[in-house]
Structure 1
Amino acid sequence: MSAQPVVRLVSVVVVALALLLGVYVATTGATVAAAPARPPTTTAATAEPQPARWAPVDRAGPAFSVPQDLLDASLTCTPAVDGASVDPVLLLSGTGADPDEAFDWGVEPVLATRDIPTCVSVAPDHNNADIAVRGEYVAHAVRSIAERSGRKVAVVGHSQGGVVIRWALRFWPDLRPLVSDVVALGPPTEGAAPLATACTDTCSAARWQQRAGSEFLAALNSGLRTFPGIDYTVVTSATDAVVTPTPAASALPVGEPGGGTVVNVAVQDLCPGRPVDHVALGTSDAVALALVVDALQNPGPADVARAGTQGCGRIDARGITRAELTDGTRRLDVAGNRPTTPLPAEPALPCYTHATGC
């Protein structure tokens, strides 16, 4: 299959400033001359411990602000979720795209061929609105799917989708025993670098929140980033022009004390030099989706050796036709050009995120 659709998607995504956002901050090393030692400062301000800013990770989650009928209407599942024989998968799309636009032409068929039941959750304003509010939809979805299936829930999130599940797990502790896997494709763990310059005047709520240094990300990454009993797989691409710098911008800590099991993997770890843009990473790339399937069908996170290099000779996952790729690309282009509600600043965080509570 020609790589032209992939190349075209790169320019579309960059100009639109991330139809489906994700990012993460890189660290660099340098050798510098040692500065003369300074005597320690012993002021009262530095001697006193700072009060906790964010909610403790074990505080019970808040009641939902979204009406129950809207939460119920937001979740759609395949019939096999009821009494499922394997962990069902909740699919979470990124900024600007509803789940049908992102997944019904690629990810869903790939999982269906492996008899993996799926659900999708639709949030307001095509995921451009407040991500904290979207977290309520996701928390409701996890509880509902676990109850219907009688099993734990695996979550696959592209870009913002890989962030909002972590928000739900951070602030609703009862969800943690209900989730087996979190597979995040190009998530903005540390914020999207392009938004630092794009959101200087107005932006949608979700884009403000995905800027590096946002209050939303500070709250999200407070306490623990991962939780025990959950396997985390973060998939990135070295050629992702939206989530930059890679891979540090998306990575989760490995071996976090008290946290879950984490693997951070780039598609180029399997296929050196492979060009995969941000959109293809979460919708159609053969290697990225092979890692998703490997994580879902085996204990623990994805394993590079187990996933193998068989997909390196293909651009799109097996079963995605040229017509489906063309139509899916077109739908995502349209989604990226939809108007959003502009805000002059990042929305205030819910009171439940703060140490003082509500």
Structure 2
Amino acid sequence: MRSYALLTLVAPLVLALPAPAPAPLPFPSPQTNNQETNVLTGLLAGLGGAVVNLGSILDAIPAVLGDLGTALEAADEVVSAIENGTILGTDVPAVVQKLFKAAKPTASPTTLTDAVNLEAKAWGATNPSQAPPTSQNILGNVLGLLLNGVNNADITSIANGFAMNVPLSNNKAASPNFYKIQTLLGNAPFSVPESQLLQAIYIPPEFTGQKQPIIFVPGTGTIGSTNFQPNIGKLLSQSTIGDPVYLQIPNNLLGDIQTSAEYVSYAIQYINQLTSKKPAVITWSQGSLVSQWAFKYWKTTRAMVTDLISISPDFDGTILALLLCPGFASGNAFACTEAVFQQVYNSNFITTLKSNNGDSAYVPTTTVYTATDEIVQPQIGNSASGFISDARGVGTSNTFLQGACLALPAGTLYGHAGVLINPTAYALVVDALTHDGPGDFNRVTASCVDVVAPGIGIGDVLATEALIPEAALNILSYLPKVAAEPAIRAYAGVYGQS
């Protein structure tokens, strides 16, 4: 398989702990369909970078890609063509969408363990104590997931060229209008119109108003409801603990993270005033960065929440970010999105966030992360990008699954999205919401013996793992791309000093 990894680890990520439990069975391969043709064979070969007509490329892709080998070959060809300029950047969305539409499931897991392992196995993870290989073709990996039954309605919608099904709200502004008095309170100013900030706060019909409100902040390339309704949101909505509220941030969090943070800041203040209750904030992936930025530069939000609970966070960014941008290194016009650039390990955005103890918690914070994360690395122990410090003494807990649940089911092969259905992760969510301060692993050790959180089925696992191909499809389809991360906002030099 052709590799387009742009960064490598500076040191091997090896967990210095006793040998873990044996890895599950290998990633299953779908059955071969002998009537399929080799994708793009001969069309792109030997063209030396000459641009090929988009229609010809699309015509060369079969209507059905039901064979894993053929799908991986197609992914290699497409990535190579993007890198050498044979496929123009503006044509990439159509080509990628056609590949996703053609990838028809030919296998499906029959056990929870098999379903949980699909994500990490697709990236070649075989040892729970080590990160997946850093040299990857992410397009091929996500096609493999689709062939193995990992899919959802949003992937189909995006592949057909339609926007995700985003439920929006007709919320009315709260009073007094805190939108207009931000800077008087020592907060950064808003740049997004209040009507847009309001519309992004999706309060589902099952919201009772009697339980603690939980604001869910999604990860790169997705939206709050899709991100959390098959997992933590589902479980909390059925409990007596929390009332989910989902943020549907425009552009699927692919734009400037500084703008996305305004939606989090506003939602915290709005829900706090609407319910007269302090919400908790639960995040996945980039959502953790967005929320930490909001706490840093909108200081009044800190006293309005009880907890930040971060699943698979990347507080330091990730050395694998540019895997999502094939062609960038070779100078192809198809570059990347603002948010992906900002999540490059120690980018300007990350460096600014971490300054003045921004790498420490502003509110009681619980983090959970996995060594076999295929998107965020490094993610091992205290050197993990998911680890947060506690310089302010507000209370933090950092749970590294393979260390905490060593040689037990909850400490095996969980990918970036898989932590959302991990039993220990959910136990820590509940523990944090029902106790003062962060979640405490010592109170939930019994959770390590399970494979998924109680109440999660195979369908929920597959819908959760579909977040990875969904995000990849959104990132690759998103236009226009940019060539560098956006500038740091001027307010960063004025606010956020404590």
Q: TM-score, normalised by structure 1?
A: 0.80
Residues 171/239 of structure 1: CA separation in 2 closer, same or farther (3 Å cut): same
Shift of residue 81, structure 1, vs aligned partner: 5.8
State the shift of 1:77 in Å: 2.1
* Structure 1 residue 196: Cα displacement: 5.5
SS at match of 1:167: helix
8 Å Cα contact 1:83-1:148 kept in structure 2: no
Deviation, 1:67, is 1.1
Q: Choose which of 208, 213, 221 in structure 2 pairs with 1:96.
A: 221
Q: Spell out structure 1 runs of 4+ moving beyond 3 A.
A: 11-19, 78-85, 196-201, 327-332
Change (3 A) 1:326 1:197: closer
- Write the distance in 2 (CA, Å) between the matches of 1:328 and 1:277: 11
How far is 1:329 from its partner? 3.4
Supply the distance in 1 between the matched residues of 2:236 and 2:427 (Cα, whole angstroms): 10
Q: Which has the higher contact order (CA 8 A, sep 6+)?
A: 1
Tell me, in whole angstroms, the C-alpha distance in 2 between the residues paired with 1:224 and 1:59.
Answer: 21
Question: Deviation string for 1:261-287 (max 9, x for gaps)?
Answer: 111111234421322111111x21122
SS in 2 for 1:3: helix
Q: Deviations over 1:5-51 (max 9, x none)?
A: 333223667644999xxxxxxxxxxxxxxxxxxxxxxxxxxxxxxxx
Q: Secondary structure at the match of 2:261?
A: helix
Contact 2:221 2:470 in 1 (8 A): no
Tell me the residue number matched to 1:236: 369
Indicate the residue corresponding to 1:210 in structure 2: 343
1: CA distance, partners of 2:290 / 2:386: 13
User: SS of 1:238's equivalent?
Assistant: coil
Residue 219 (structure 1) aligned with residue 352 (structure 2): yes
Write out aligned runs for 1:99-248 (5 A). Answer: 99-115=224-240, 116-195=242-321, 200-201=328-329, 202-225=335-358, 226=360, 230-245=363-378, 246-247=380-381, 248=383
Q: Distance in 1 between matches of 2:197 and 2:424?
A: 34
Structure whose CA Rg is larger: 2
The residue type equivalent to 2:367 in the other structure is V
User: 3-state SS of the aligned residue for 1:188?
Assistant: coil
Match of 2:459 in 1: 323
Partner of 1:312: 448
Offset, 1:197? 6.5
Aligned match of 1:84: 210
- Corresponding residue pairs, total: 313
Could you tell me how far apart the structure 1 residues matched to 2:425 and 2:138 are? Answer: 23
Match among 482, 486, 493 for residue 343 of structure 1: 482
How far off its partner does 1:82 sit? 6.7
Matching residue's letter, 1:91: F
In structure 2, the partner of 1:60 is 186
1:298 corresponds to 2:435 = yes
Alpha-carbon distance between aligned partners in 1 of 2:415 and 2:369, rounded to the nearest angstrom: 10
| Alignment partner, residue 334 of structure 1 | 470
Please state whether the residue corresponding to 1:278 is helix, strand or coil: coil
How far does residue 356 in structure 1 lie from its aligned partner after superposition? 9.4
Q: Residues 12 and 140 from structure 1, CA distance in 2 versus in 1: closer, same or farther, beyond 3 angstroms?
A: farther
Q: Which moved more, 1:324-333 or 1:185-194?
A: 324-333
Question: Contact 1:186/1:234 (CA < 8 Å) preserved in 2?
Answer: yes
CA contact (8 A) 2:322 2:340 kept: no
Q: For 1:174, give the aligned amino acid.
A: T
Task: Return the offset for 1:107.
Answer: 1.1
Letter in 1 for 2:399: V
Cα distance in 2 for partners of 1:126, 1:60 equals 29
Check whether the contact 1:84–1:150 (CA below 8 A) recurs between aligned residues: no
Aligned counterpart for 2:417 among listed residues 258, 271, 279: 279
Q: Structure 1 counterpart of 2:493, which letter?
A: H
Among 246, 249, 253, the alignment partner of 2:389 is 253
Aligned residues with identical type, % of pairs? 26
Asked if 1 retains the 8 angstrom alpha-carbon contact of 2:283 and 2:309, the reply is yes
Q: In structure 2, what residue type is equivalent to 1:260?
A: V
- In the superposition, relative to structure 1, how do residues 184 and 331 fare at CA in structure 2: closer, same or farther (>3 Å)? closer
Task: Indicate how the Cα distance of structure 1 residues 303 and 259 shifts in structure 2: closer, same or farther if over 3 A, else same.
Answer: closer
Q: How many Å separate the matches in 1 of 2:209 and 2:463?
A: 33
SS at match of 1:223: helix
Unaligned runs of 5+ in 2: 1-110, 124-135, 143-183, 330-334
RMSD: 2.6
Counterpart of 1:268? 402
When structure 1 is superposed on structure 2, of 73-82 and 233-242 the one drifting more is 73-82
Once the two structures are TM-superposed, the CA of residue 126 in structure 1 deviates from its matched residue by 1.0
Contact 1:101 1:332 in 2 (8 A): no
